[in-house]
Amino acid sequence: MSNKTDLTEYSSQELSLNVFNDEYLYKQARRASGHSRLRELASEFFIFDDEQFDELCEDWDADQEEDN
């Protein structure tokens, strides 16, 4: 039995919302280098589809640009 939260029945923004609104995940993601590590991290906690991951990457890239 998986302890992962299945987000596949929700909107394309759901994965991004979960990562950005969870302090632990956000801090871990900030330490990640690249989208592949971001996928690994998200996969530890969630079941998601490619569209949700693409949305997370777009939001993540925009967030990183704001910091620069």
Domain-located, residue 31: yes
Tell me whether residue 1 is in a domain.
Answer: no
What's the whole-number mean pLDDT along residues 7-24? 97
In a domain, 2, yes or no: no
Q: What's residue 67's pLDDT?
A: 74
**What is the average pLDDT value for the chain, to the nearest integer?**
93
- Establish if 23 belongs to a structural domain: yes
> Band of the pLDDT at 44, cuts 50, 70, 90?
very high
Domain range holding 59? 12-67
The answer on pLDDT for 1 being more than 60 is no
DSSP for the chain, written as a single string: ---SEE-TTS-TTHHHHHHHT-HHHHHHHHH--SHHHHHHHHHHHEE--HHHHHHHHHHHHHHHHHH-
* Mean pLDDT to the nearest integer, 29-58: 94
Give domain status of residue 57, yes or no.
yes
Residue 5 covered by a domain: no
Residue 49 forms part of a structural domain:
yes
- Give the count of domains, the chain: 1
In a domain, 48, yes or no: yes
Q: What pLDDT was estimated at residue 68?
A: 67
